[in-house]
């Protein structure tokens, strides 16, 4: 019996200023394949459906269990992680494209550094002084822990930026993921001490006011993070901080 096959179409570009070309590959079906397996199959035999020799497709992947965020791409028109995109569940032919809100490196690989720069800009960490034993940390209520745990699952994949209409070439909006991380660090008993500078980083261009409440972000987050709740919560924090700063005269 002939092997069952399926088609994968891939948007390819060596550089962002090079013309786009779509390549089609016919792959041998095996049960439980995901998109990463498809890309590995192509790397092993980079021959297009018409028989012309091509090159392995460039993409990023690491953990293969939706933890590292690296393999985010557009699969059949939707931003998602390639590792959890199962061939059995996808409409055929499968179409793969790179995320569009980050600079293209090559093929399906993009440079997501802007997200990490924005995490730095908004001070999304908790400064701890020294390497000695600081003793037990402050207590957190189970309710705070529960919300914090949900927010801490962000894998910086960038899917929420891809789907956000306000993340575009005319705006510097940091995106829902960054705002949600500000909420996470501001709710921590130690992180709270630096809430002011984090909120200030979200005031003005690119900050929380640039959110138009499209609410697309929450629909594509692979970790189910309550992003719209984070946007609302941080918006309120920014407002209160601005009013307090005004009356303090700072
Ligand atoms: Fe990805 Fe969700 Fe984090 Fe956005 S919030 S970067 S979609 S994990």
Q: What pLDDT, in 10s, does the model give residues 68-83?
A: 999 999 999 999 999 9
Section 121-134 average pLDDT: 84
Tell me if 118 CB under 6 Å of ligand 1.
no
Does one domain contain both 222 and 120?
A: yes
Domain count for the chain: 2
Section 22-46 average pLDDT: 97
CA of 167 to the centre of ligand 1 (A): 14
pLDDT attached to residue 249: 76
Task: Pick from 84, 114, 155 the residue to mutate for probing ligand 1's pocket: most ligand atoms within 8 Å of its CB.
Answer: 155
Helix/strand/coil for 43? helix
Question: 176-187 and 142-152 helices cross at what angle (nearest 10)?
Answer: 150
CA 34/CA 88 separation, integer angstroms:
8
CATH of the domain at 12: 3.10.20.30
pLDDT attached to residue 25: 98
Domain-ending residue, one of 78, 110, 142? 110
CA of 192 to the centre of ligand 1 (A): 22
pLDDT attached to residue 1: 55
- Cα–Cα distances (Å) from 150 to 42, 153, 162, 184, 186, in that order, read 36, 6, 21, 9, 14
Q: Are 40 and 62 in contact (CB under 8 A)?
A: no
pLDDT attached to residue 132: 78
**Does position 162 have pLDDT exceeding 60, yes or no?**
yes
Supply the residue whose CA is at minimum distance from atom 7 of ligand 1: 221
Helix residue ranges, H only, the chain: 35-44, 113-121, 142-152, 159-162, 176-187, 195-201, 217-220, 227-248
CA of 25 to the centre of ligand 1 (A): 30
**Which tens digits make up the pLDDT trace of 141-159?**
999 999 999 999 999 999 9
CA 138/CA 194 separation, integer angstroms:
15
Does one domain contain both 78 and 150?
A: no
Half-sphere exposure of 248 (CA within 13 A, CB side): 7
Task: Pick from 83, 99, 157 the residue to mutate for probing ligand 1's pocket: most ligand atoms within 8 Å of its CB.
Answer: 157
pLDDT attached to residue 250: 66
Helix/strand/coil for 13? coil
pTM surpassing 0.85? Answer: yes
CA 46 and chain centroid, separation: 28
Does one domain contain both 154 and 199?
A: yes
Does one domain contain both 157 and 235?
A: yes
pLDDT attached to residue 127: 82
Locate the DSSP E strands across 89-174.
Answer: 94-97, 104-106, 109-110
pLDDT attached to residue 94: 98
Domain range spanning residue 23? 5-110
Tell me if 157 CB under 6 Å of ligand 1.
yes
Does one domain contain both 94 and 136?
A: no
CATH of the domain at 169: 1.10.1060.10
Q: Count each helix (H run) and each strand (E run) in the chain, helices first.
A: 8, 7
Q: Which residue has the higher pLDDT, 3 or 156?
A: 156
**Which tens digits make up the pLDDT trace of 195-236?**
999 999 999 899 999 999 999 999 999 999 999 999 999 999
How would residue 171 be classed by pLDDT, with cut points 50, 70 and 90?
confident
Tell me if 160 CB under 6 Å of ligand 1.
yes
Does one domain contain both 76 and 142?
A: no
Tell me if 104 CB under 6 Å of ligand 1.
no
Does one domain contain both 39 and 129?
A: no
Question: In sequence order, what are the residues at sequence separation of 6 or more whose Cβ sits closer than 8 angstroms to the Cβ of residue 228?
Answer: 176, 213, 215, 217, 218
* CB-neighbour burial class of residue 159 (10 A; exposed 0-12, middle 13-18, buried 19+): buried
Q: Are 109 and 58 in contact (CB under 8 A)?
A: yes
Does one domain contain both 166 and 244?
A: yes
Portion of the chain with pLDDT greater than 70, in percent: 99
Is the four-CA dihedral 70, 73, 75, 79 of positive or negative sign? positive
pLDDT attached to residue 248: 85
Task: Pick from 70, 177, 217 the residue to mutate for probing ligand 1's pocket: most ligand atoms within 8 Å of its CB.
Answer: 177
How would residue 128 be classed by pLDDT, with cut points 50, 70 and 90?
confident
3-state helix, strand, coil in the chain (%, to 5): 35, 15, 50
Average pLDDT, the chain: 95
Is the four-CA dihedral 37, 41, 43, 47 of positive or negative sign? negative
CA of 218 to the centre of ligand 1 (A): 8
Supply the residue whose CA is at minimum distance from atom 1 of ligand 1: 157
pLDDT attached to residue 238: 97
């Amino acid at each position: 019996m002939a092997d069952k096959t399926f088609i994968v179409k891939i948007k390819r570009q060596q550089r962002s200023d090079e013309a786009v070309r779509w390549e089609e590959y016919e792959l041998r079906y095996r049960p439980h394949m995901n998109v990463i397996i498809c890309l590995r199959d192509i790397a092993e035999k980079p021959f297009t459906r018409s028989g012309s020799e091509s090159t392995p497709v460039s993409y990023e992947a690491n953990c293969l269990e939706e933890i590292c965020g690296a393999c985010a791409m557009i699969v059949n028109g939707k931003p998602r992680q390639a590792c959890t995109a199962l061939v059995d569940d996808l409409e055929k032919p499968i179409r793969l494209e790179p995320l569009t809100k980050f600079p293209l490196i090559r093929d399906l690989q993009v440079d997501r550094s802007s997200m990490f720069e924005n995490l730095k800009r908004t001070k999304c960490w908790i400064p701890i002084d020294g390497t000695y034993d600081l003793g037990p940390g402050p207590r957190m209520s189970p309710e705070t822990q529960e919300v914090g745990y949900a927010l801490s699952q962000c894998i910086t994949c960038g899917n929420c930026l891809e789907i956000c209409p306000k993340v575009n070439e005319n705006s510097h909006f940091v995106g829902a993921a960054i705002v949600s991380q500000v909420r996470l660090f501001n709710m921590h008993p130690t992180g709270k001490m630096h809430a002011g500078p984090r909120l200030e980083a979200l005031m003005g261009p690119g900050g929380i006011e640039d959110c138009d409440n499209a609410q697309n972000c929450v629909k594509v987050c692979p970790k189910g993070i309550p992003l719209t709740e984070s946007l609302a919560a941080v918006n309120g924090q920014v407002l209160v901080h601005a009013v307090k700063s005004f009356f303090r005269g700072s």
